[in-house]
Amino acid sequence: MNSNKKNNISGFLKKKNVKRFSLFVVIAFIFLIFSKLSNDYKQTIKLKVNVVNIQDEIVLQGDSVNTINAYIEAKGFSLIPFMFKGSTDIVLDGKTDVISRPNQFIFDVQKHQYLIEGQLGKSYKVISLKPDTLLISYSKSASKVVPISLIHSIEYALGYDVKEDLNLSVDSVKVVGPSSEIDKIETLETENLELKNVKKDISEEIGLNISEYDNIEIFPKTVNISGEVTKFTEGTIEIPIIITNKPNNVDINYFPKTVTIAYYVDLDKYNSITTKDFMVECNYANIDDNQTYFMPVITKKPESVKRISIKQKRIDFIKL
């Protein structure tokens, strides 16, 4: 019995010693790794060059060759990311950092070493850069500016409407792509702006519909739509008819002499609407020889008025 207990205790202690030894090995290994990573190392890394702030029509070519080999010195910790990725990005400004030539940007690598060092950061010391000059090829696509057509299905709450027209942040966009597609585009529609029960101001960002075109880009890609929504009310008003272009040698009698106009107006401006704000005309030059009626047309109305209509659709007349 005592012998079994001694064996169990011995086995337990051996297991604990193994665990402790394993723990010490792991800790020692970690310290070794940290010690190694704290040392300075020299290594060549690839810098992938991207040019920004260039014309929308420009397409950079040969991305795989737009790289700089940088021989650097850095702590091991700083070089760890390059174990998982083959390169890091360097961004050049197309207006200030490169020289533009037809179909080519020229980047003086040596002259702009400070720029590369600044983007790499203080953890890296640049020893040398190759090549001395980088040639970045590009091509130009066709482009033109086309107007935007707003597509919407907006349902306003009862008694509400947009005060004036809906506003677009831009009225046109630049389209870029192959000439064969660009030449076909005369206008671009927005995606459908669908809103229901609207009773507050509209402010929405919406994209443009380019589903019919496979190889074009647009700038900007979205537009902002805004509109002031307020309470509206319906009003009616009697307006006298004006006969225009009647020959001097023709006398007529027409009926009715006035028409009723129904309109929808901003509630705040309802009391300011007067007969002077409207004009209804019947153009004698538009009737046929045997015609005995006019079609009245509203030729003047306030900008604040919406959904305007004439209740009398025709004005009868006789020649005297």
pLDDT 10s digits, 101-134: 888 899 999 999 999 889 888 888 888 989 999 9
Tell me how far apart the alpha carbons of residues 51 and 95 are, in angstroms, rounded to a whole number.
9
pLDDT grade for 141, boundaries at 50, 70 and 90 = confident
Sign of CA dihedral 73, 78, 79, 81: negative
CA angle 37/42/45 to nearest 5° reads 100
Domains of the chain: 40-140 (2.170.120.30), 142-227 (2.170.120.40), 233-319 (2.170.120.30)
| Region for 49 from its dihedrals, namely left if φ exceeds 0, alpha if ψ lies in -120 to 50, beta otherwise | beta
Contacts of 78 (CB under 8 A, 6+ apart): 123, 124
Q: Phi, psi at residue 208, to the nearest 5°?
A: -105, 145
Per-residue model confidence (pLDDT) at position 315: 93
What is the pLDDT at residue 21?
A: 52
Task: Please tell me the predicted confidence (pLDDT) of residue 183.
Answer: 87
Position 25 pLDDT exceeds 60: no
For residue 210, give both structure tokens.
């380019």
Average pLDDT, stretch 128-154? Answer: 91
Residue 32: predicted pLDDT: 46
Measured distance CA(230)–CA(160) in Å, rounded: 6
Q: Is the pLDDT of residue 194 over 90?
A: yes
Q: What is the pLDDT of residue 76?
A: 67
Three-state SS for 303?
coil
- Is residue 101 within 8 Å of residue 75, measured between CB atoms? no
Beta bridge partners of residue 298, listed in sequence order: 280
Range with lowest mean pLDDT among 83-92, 178-187, 235-244, 301-310? 83-92
Average pLDDT in the chain: 85
Mean pLDDT of 8-26: 53
Q: Is the pLDDT of residue 316 over 50?
A: yes
Indicate whether 69 pLDDT > 60.
yes
User: pLDDT band at residue 13, thresholds of 50, 70 and 90?
Assistant: very low
**Three-state helix/strand/coil letters over 7-34:** HHHHHHHHHHHHHHHHHHHHHHHHHHHH
For residues 166-189, give the mean pLDDT. Answer: 91
Longest dimension (CA), the chain: 143
- Residue 285's contacts (CB-CB under 8 Å, 6 or more residues apart) are 244, 245
Choose among 174, 179, 221, 182: nearest CA to 55.
174
3-class DSSP state of 242 = strand
Band (24; pLDDT cuts 50, 70, 90): low
Strand order in the sheet with 252-255: 252-255, 315-319, 293-294
- Statement: residue 268 has pLDDT above 50: yes
Percent of the chain with pLDDT over 90: 50
pLDDT score recorded for residue 23: 57
What pairs with residue 158 in β-bridges?
A: none
Identify the pLDDT of residue 123: 81
Which residue, among 280, 296, 295, has the nearest Cα to 239 in the 3D structure? 280
Evaluated on CA atoms 134, 136, 137, 143, the torsion sign reads: negative
